[in-house]
Amino acid sequence: MATERIPTSPVAPRTRPLASIGAGGAMPAHLRVVIVTESWRPNVDGVVTRLDNTVRELRRAGHDVAVIAPSTDPSLPGLPQHRTPTLSLRFLYGGMPWALPGPAVSRALSQFRPDVVHVVNPVLMGSVALRRASHRYPTVVSYHTDVSVYASLYHLGWIRPALHALMRRIYRHADMRLATSEVGRAQLASLGITDVGLWGRGVDRELFHPGRDGSAARARLCPEPQRRLVLYVGRLAREKGCDRLLPLAAGPGPYHVVLVGEGPDRGRLEEVFGGSRVTFAGVLRGEELAEAYAAADVFVFPSDTDTLGLVLLEAMATGLPIVATDSPAARMVLAACPDRALVPAGAPGEALVAAVEDVLAHPRQPSEAMGGVPEVPDLPADAAPPSGGGWAVATAGLVDDYRLAISRRQPRPQSRFGRFLAVGLSNAVVDLGVFNFFVFVHPTRSAGLNVAYNTMAVLAAIANSYFWNSRWTFADRVERDEKRWRQRALFLGQGGINLGVSDATILGLALLLRTLHGLPATLMSNLSKVVAMLTASAVSYMLMHFVVFRSDRQRPHPRGA
């Protein structure tokens, strides 16, 4: 029999360190997060399962969340969802709609004004969204699966090099790169994408546990109660390898196969499994899904393309024995499972049948009665254990990564001052340009007219200053809504002080320098103007740094020097 049992040894779970904050000031207690994803509800797959639980935990913790996706779900009240245009091609992935880039993403970001933008497994729309968002907002990108593998299964293997090149180019735009497992991190490393963190895994232990009664679900799913129920949960697609379950459903054994999920391959699979002992249960969520796990005798996972496999965690939490195709992801996750078997990829169907017989005949481990996952699981140091905090722990770690991405955008004090000087240089060009326009049109030695010229020039420079300082120098401190108007009022106040200091300086110098009769009027005016600009700029920076854009609330900062 071509199966393998893996010995277990306790490995202490990692304690995740909190991300440090930037030098610019305090980090916001509650974040505004935009999640950009090309797979979302009502779809059901591993990415959606993770996002569904993550969004719930983020909102439960008090963070504001919005989702940009090719689909929306009206059953989620209070969650802003923005739909992007889609394109469906019948020959590509069963006509599944693919998200297209468009103005919807930019509009949603401008409307929501997030602290951080999280782009999930970017392909087409996600890649464009990540590049655009990175110019203004702190960004996080997460890798969940190698889409190029799926392309090979749909006769598009020739585009794999282009997809990998796109990934290398796009992922570098993010402030934080995450993978959902060590397997995913290794895949990114093979493409030359480094500095990748890990987004911990989780499982809902309130739903998935061995004490649940699955008798009612068993009666619905398995018409012959004497048979052993073999359960598969996941997308019905070619890359999942569901064909490998046919020997269990069609052979002489005592099994009934239940396939939970939907996908582009369902029609073909119904033909392949026609006349065999199989139930296509469709999409199940929440209690219904948990009852399906509770009804099963064994869980099967035939895929060898996944980078994690969250359904394995759900099956483990329920206490089911598991048979899976041997892959790096299955080896990693099932290291914590007390009763499992791995079947080599490409092995004949009889090997899978033999593995199922083996795990069902094997005595159940004592730890299964306590929850399906040992309290100190045999996990690599990269991942949060499936027991304990579950999705709350995994999401808390993700929030740390969000804060780290934000802190990476916040400029150091010397960098902020450098930006202020750069904006000050542009202000000087505007200020002197407007001032000298009037001076050369109508030269004068009148202190009063010089003050009038200066006033109009400073007002133009103040407008320029607000535009650039609010969008660049102090963009991480720009407030929203009613506080934004308060901040604008404070800026106008500092602008008035700036104007007063400038006018007072230029008036005093003009009165002093006009006594020098050999000094040309234009030179006198410009000497007064330069001294007034330097004095007013010093006052302006102090007011903006400590009063207008004070550092008690950090905001996203655009990418720059």
Tokens of 534: 């330097």
Helix (H, G, I), strand (E, B) or coil at 415: helix
Count the neighbouring beta carbons within 10 Å of the beta carbon of residue 58.
22
More confident residue, 478 or 168: 168
Residue 357 lies in a domain: yes
Task: Please give the model's pTM, rounded to 2 decimal places.
Answer: 0.71
pLDDT for 23: 39
Same domain, 161 and 58: yes
Quick one: pLDDT band at residue 94, thresholds 50, 70, 90? Answer: low
Lowest mean pLDDT among 65-69, 167-171, 304-308, 380-384: 380-384
CA distances from 149 to 157, 183, 200, 230 (A): 8, 14, 24, 27
Mean pLDDT over 298-305 rounds to 93
Mean pLDDT over 19-46 rounds to 76
DSSP assignment of 276-308 equals SSEEEEE---HHHHHHHHHH-SEEEE--SS-SS
Quick one: pLDDT band at residue 12, thresholds 50, 70, 90? Answer: very low
pLDDT at 325 over 90: yes
Residue 16: which of 326, 560, 398, 298 has the closest Cα?
A: 398
Residue 390 lies in a domain: no
Same domain, 135 and 229: no
More confident residue, 244 or 520: 244
Same domain, 163 and 241: no
Sequence-distant (≥ 6) Cβ neighbours of residue 108 within 8 angstroms: 34, 66, 68, 80, 82
Residue 86: which of 75, 73, 72 has the closest Cα?
A: 72
Residue 6 lies in a domain: no
Same domain, 175 and 137: yes
Same domain, 183 and 219: no
Same domain, 340 and 232: yes
Mean pLDDT over 445-462 rounds to 85
Residue 23 lies in a domain: no
pLDDT at 512 over 90: no
Quick one: pLDDT band at residue 376, thresholds 50, 70, 90? Answer: very low
Residues facing 323 on adjacent strands: 300, 341
**Per-residue pLDDT reduced to its tens digit, 46-74:** 899 999 999 999 999 999 999 999 999 99
Same domain, 163 and 228: no
More confident residue, 294 or 453: 294
Rounded Cα distance, 463 and 498, in Å? 12
Q: Structural domain of residue 358, as residue ranges? A: 215-380
Helix (H, G, I), strand (E, B) or coil at 145: coil
Mean pLDDT over 538-561 rounds to 65
| Contacts for 74-80: CB closer than 8 Å, 24+ residues apart | 75/41, 76/41, 79/55, 80/108, 80/112
Same domain, 229 and 356: yes
Rounded Cα distance, 110 and 133, in Å? 10
Residue 209 lies in a domain: no
Same domain, 369 and 281: yes
Q: Which residue has the tokens 């410009």?
A: 526
Q: What percent of the chain has pLDDT over 90?
A: 45
pLDDT for 380: 39
Can you give the length of the chain in residues? 561
Q: Which residue has the tokens 């083996």?
A: 358
Same domain, 81 and 192: yes
Mean pLDDT over 34-54 rounds to 92
According to DSSP, the β-strands at 98-99 and 86-87 are antiparallel
Rounded Cα distance, 258 and 469, in Å? 60
3-state secondary structure 241-266: CHHHHHHHHHCCCCEEEEEECCCCCH
Residue 15 lies in a domain: no
pLDDT at 347 over 50: yes
According to DSSP, the β-strands at 228-233 and 278-282 are unpaired
Rounded Cα distance, 188 and 156, in Å? 21
**Per-residue pLDDT reduced to its tens digit, 152-206:** 666 666 778 888 888 999 999 999 999 999 999 999 999 999 999 999 988 998 9
Residue 228 lies in a domain: yes
Q: What rounded mean pLDDT belongs to the chain?
A: 82
User: How many domains are contained in the chain?
Assistant: 3
**Per-residue pLDDT reduced to its tens digit, 256-294:** 999 999 988 999 999 999 999 999 999 999 999 999 999
Torsion of CA 81, 82, 86, 92, to 10 degrees: -30
Mean pLDDT over 435-440 rounds to 87
Rounded Cα distance, 256 and 245, in Å? 10
**Per-residue pLDDT reduced to its tens digit, 203-238:** 998 999 998 999 999 999 999 999 999 999 998 988
Helix (H, G, I), strand (E, B) or coil at 452: helix
Tokens of 506: 């230029």
Cis amide linkage into residue 42, ω under 30° from 0? yes
Quick one: pLDDT band at residue 521, thresholds 50, 70, 90? Answer: confident
Same domain, 228 and 182: no
Helix ranges, 342-412 (H):
349-361, 391-409
Tokens of 271: 């033909």
pLDDT at 374 over 60: no
Domain CATH for 307 = 3.40.50.2000
pLDDT for 486: 79
pLDDT for 423: 87
367 backbone dihedrals φ, ψ, rounded to 5°: -65, -20
Same domain, 98 and 135: yes
Mean pLDDT over 312-334 rounds to 93
pLDDT for 236: 93
Residue 14 lies in a domain: no
Cβ contact 128:102 at 8 Å: no
